[in-house]
Structure 1
């Protein structure tokens, strides 16, 4: 496996194609053409995995480029200046900028999660044990907080449901919200979201990632809705849609 300028460029093109395909499929879904949320989610995972491993494999097929790639390589290898006989090219300078930006983003990512975790643990946490439709029981905690505008679930090992402080819920609404958020947790969405946010620390410079994030948020919600559609009766599903 080789990490190079060309492998990063190839990764960018491949992710762009996946992004366009997913957007096309989402458009089909909005036109009532059946595209399963799980298939869309799998496409999203391919996008994610390719960004995690932006390398050339031994089985990679190289397509010769006589115009685009040579021009890009010439630009990246253009020498700006020397420092103690070390040649500083545009490519090396960009790598340094990317790494500095990644370090900055990573620091704030860790800091944000530590602050949120400390905040949650400092509050009066209400604990419950919930039986999911698949009969699996999940221990979770929930708090009301001004830090969120809509219900959300946080945590990889121990789920915390965060509820808006200024919103009140009936018991039925709370049940639907809990089912929704715990389904996210059960489907691994909290872990995926955490890893995705971590990935954005390193790809802060890549606009495709932020377009992909918007797509994946929609896909994740579709997947949860599809899961609940299997377990709720028609009347309950209508009530659930009103709540969400």
Structure 2
């Protein structure tokens, strides 16, 4: 049974945090490149996204437990604190998404200004249109329009060919859509701090994936020509003044990571085992469903009833409410979440479903 609960969300966040740490170490620790290749990074990247997009329990195996935590989280709609958290989560997500779409609109204004530049140049002898403008700070792909933007910098023919090949590969890899997906996930999980580290790591990973794709399709000599162009282009790009937030300020750190990976990366024989471990580690906790032990529930119910009925006469009326408890007297009880939120009025004296304490005790 697939369901969403506090337990499933906690497991997804915990496992995602651990995987994000591994992902970060893999991209920042030089020795990791000797045991981790692009296939492992691909799996880590995909698994983290899946865990965040689908924070559910599958419930293939059911385990009885006496833990109050699992008992209370079996149905999230009956947990008041969880309802409050969901409301705050939803409001924060709406606010984050609003800022995200405002940022997209502002970037579009900048791009419109670039398109209106009378001094821009359009290169048409490539697979996709290439636009050169002095208002572009770094090479980039223009969203879903599949237009490549280049800064007005005096690149050599080798450098320009490398840049355009690199950006074309970004288009083929659908990296624009992937970045949009990650931004949307960050907006939804605005409270999940490790996700911001993952977003930064994913930018480096997407660059590594393009680099690796380009050099594996060429011979070893082209690899070093590519590396040479990568370094010289980075030096020229840092001289640009205008920044439209495409690259972060840590360009040199990113460049060092990319260069070192290209120099030391190989397909490792242990990668298959690492991929298997990642899958088992990330998916195994979600196939278990924790159920409250029946004997424990019965004992708790008897204890609660003994406390609640203490001091009542045998003729006093009690009414069973939706959460399984008993009510004597009159009360307003709320349940549900957001649009399903409702408040019901209960009165054990007038409700036809009420029974006396004596009748209830005789049933037991």
Asked if Structure 1 and Structure 2 have the same fold, meaning a TM-score greater than 0.5 normalized by the shorter chain, the answer is yes
Counterpart for residue 93 of structure 2: 102
Counterpart for residue 220 of structure 1: 206
Q: 1:116–1:32: structure 2 CA closer, same or farther, 3 Å change rule?
A: closer
User: What's the CA shift string for 1:52-111, capped at 9, x where partnerless?
Assistant: 1111223266695848x47x97xx99xxxxxxxxx9944333322221221111122223
SS where residue 128 of structure 2 aligns? strand
| Alpha-carbon separation, structure 2, partners of 1:38 and 1:193 | 19
Counterpart for residue 133 of structure 2: 144
| Alpha-carbon separation, structure 1, partners of 2:185 and 2:178 | 10
| Alpha-carbon separation, structure 2, partners of 1:229 and 1:61 | 49
Counterparts of 1:21-40 in structure 2, within 5 Å, are: 21-26=22-27, 30-40=31-41
Q: Of the two, which has the highest radius of gyration?
A: 2
Q: 1:112–1:127: structure 2 CA closer, same or farther, 3 Å change rule?
A: farther
Report how far residue 207 of structure 1 moved.
Answer: 1.0
Q: 1:121–1:62: structure 2 CA closer, same or farther, 3 Å change rule?
A: farther
Q: Which has the higher contact order (CA 8 A, sep 6+)?
A: 2
Whether the 8 Å CA contact 2:170–2:176 is kept in 1: the answer is yes
Counterpart for residue 349 of structure 2: none
Counterpart for residue 128 of structure 1: 124
Counterpart for residue 47 of structure 1: 48
Counterpart for residue 146 of structure 2: 159
Q: 1:90–1:27: structure 2 CA closer, same or farther, 3 Å change rule?
A: same
| Alpha-carbon separation, structure 2, partners of 1:240 and 1:198 | 33
Tell whether 2:107 aligns with 1:116.
yes
Whether the 8 Å CA contact 1:28–1:34 is kept in 2: the answer is no
SS where residue 35 of structure 1 aligns? coil
Counterpart for residue 11 of structure 1: 12
SS where residue 91 of structure 2 aligns? helix
Whether the 8 Å CA contact 2:128–2:168 is kept in 1: the answer is no
TM-score by length of 2: 0.52
Which structure 1 segments of 5+ residues have no match? 78-86, 131-137
User: What's the CA shift string for 1:132-187, capped at 9, x where partnerless?
Assistant: xxxxxx32343435464x3222323x32323345x432232111111112112212
Report how far residue 203 of structure 1 moved.
Answer: 0.9
Whether the 8 Å CA contact 1:140–1:161 is kept in 2: the answer is yes
| Alpha-carbon separation, structure 1, partners of 2:155 and 2:88 | 47
| Alpha-carbon separation, structure 2, partners of 1:91 and 1:230 | 49
SS where residue 224 of structure 1 aligns? helix
Q: 1:18–1:31: structure 2 CA closer, same or farther, 3 Å change rule?
A: closer
Counterpart for residue 134 of structure 1: none
Of the three residues 191, 194, 197, the one matched with 2:177 is: 191
Tell whether 2:88 aligns with 1:92.
no
Counterpart for residue 83 of structure 1: none
Matched residue count: 222
